[in-house]
Amino acid sequence: MTHCIFCRIASGEIPSTVVYDDEHVVAFRDLNPHAPTHVLVVPRKHIATLNDLVPEDAELVGRMYLAAREVAHIDGVAESGYRTVFNCNADAGQTVFHLHMHVLGGRSMVWPPG
């Protein structure tokens, strides 16, 4: 998907501050952070929303969570705590329609969110 900004970031076409990457996912700093650690974990495969996942994507989603764990360790928030968030569609706050997980940490989080 050449018009998708996250596909272009994942391919290296658009520069970003990469925190972690492997053959399946790339994790980069959010341009509009809402916490000291705010990293987006994006699959290299284009999937628009959580609703578009298929059973064959189960391993990929697991890899996204493993990447989030690595990001938390890299940024030093694994022990103090961090939050992972998927937003699905506009009413939930999804603005880029390429599946992505937010990893937020470095400050106290409130509940409920939003």
**Residue 53 to residue 57: CA distance in whole angstroms:** 6
Output the average pLDDT for the chain.
96
Domain assignment present for residue 112? The answer is no
Instruction: Say whether 46 is catalytic.
Output: no
pLDDT confidence of residue 24: 97
* Total domains in the fold of the chain: 1
Assigned domain for 17 exists: yes
- Per-residue pLDDT at 1: 53
Q: What is the CATH number of the domain that holds 15?
A: 3.30.428.10
Catalytic residue among 24, 98, 100, 102: 100
Q: Is the pLDDT of residue 30 over 60?
A: yes
Residue at 114 is within a domain: no
Containing structural domain, residue 59: 5-105
What are the φ and ψ backbone dihedral angles of 63, each rounded to 5 degrees?
-65, -35
User: For 59-106, how does the pLDDT look when each residue is reduced to its tens digit (9 = 90+)?
Assistant: 999 999 999 999 999 999 999 999 999 999 999 999 999 999 999 999
pLDDT band, residue 2 (cuts 50/70/90): low
Name which of 66, 76, 77 is nearest 101 in CA terms: 66
